[in-house]
Amino acid sequence: MKRLILVLGLLISLSACANGPRPPTLPYPAWSVALAAPKHMEVWVESVDVLDQRGLGFFHVFGGVASYTGEVRGWHKGAGKTMPIHNVDLPEKIYLRWQSLVEPQAYTIGIQIPQWVRDEMVRPERVFCQGSRKWKDDYRKIITLGMAPGGIVKVWVGGPCLGFKEVGRFQAKVHPLGPYQGKSNGKYVPLEPENKAHIEKYGVPYGSW
């Protein structure tokens, strides 16, 4: 009887594995999300969520402070603070919720990732990598999310040794519940003193992003 129970349990387990989602079949261990913001335009990312091309959702894959570009006005080439996203297939849609601390304002957006971006992410390109001083096959496996005041989002796709290509510029919506989806009684993350002083002196250059 015990043997029968064990066999049945094993069959159920194998059946669950067989019927479960297929694992990602990528030419590298993980793709990455990067977060960026113009200099002094401080951003706190509450959540990055991903719907992958298998139709599976992954929540809070990244968050925190976005790294700064070199300039206050305009955008950079696409780099940012990076987090590898393991065991997640290529993104179909990326959901972003963040606080623009210089305003302050909370924003939310869902960004549809075009098929050409996923094609770029698995297409090898022979390149001379400056870091290792060697030729290698590299991939554009990094998606950068750039956030600016006014709810502006700029998206790029690039690689460690390859340049970044612009995916698009998007307009986010003000989150109706405010920061932390209404769980902080309207309180935002405090603005760093250096950034606060810059904003008080020069203001926010809306329209430059």
The total of structural domains in the chain comes to: 1
What mean pLDDT do residues 88-116 have?
Answer: 98
CA atoms within 13 A on the CB side of 70: 4
pLDDT for 11 equals 36
Which residue in the block uniquely carries the two structure tokens 């060697």? 134
Q: Is residue 11 part of a domain?
A: no
Q: Is residue 13 part of a domain?
A: no
pLDDT for 19 equals 63
pLDDT tens digits for 123-169? 999 999 887 788 989 999 999 999 999 999 999 999 989 999 999 99
pLDDT for 23 equals 86
pLDDT for 132 equals 79
pLDDT for 9 equals 42
CA atoms within 13 A on the CB side of 121: 26
pLDDT for 159 equals 94
pLDDT tens digits for 1-25? 434 333 334 333 333 344 677 889 9
What mean pLDDT do residues 26-51 have?
Answer: 98
pLDDT for 133 equals 83
DSSP state of 70: S
Q: Is residue 33 part of a domain?
A: yes
Q: Is residue 147 part of a domain?
A: yes
The token pair at 62 is: 């990244």
Please, which pLDDT band fits residue 31 given cuts at 50, 70 and 90? very high
Q: Is residue 10 part of a domain?
A: no
Instruction: Give the number of other Cβ atoms within 10 Å of residue 98's Cβ.
Output: 27
Please, which pLDDT band fits residue 77 given cuts at 50, 70 and 90? confident
What range defines the domain where residue 172 resides?
A: 24-202
Q: Is residue 86 part of a domain?
A: yes
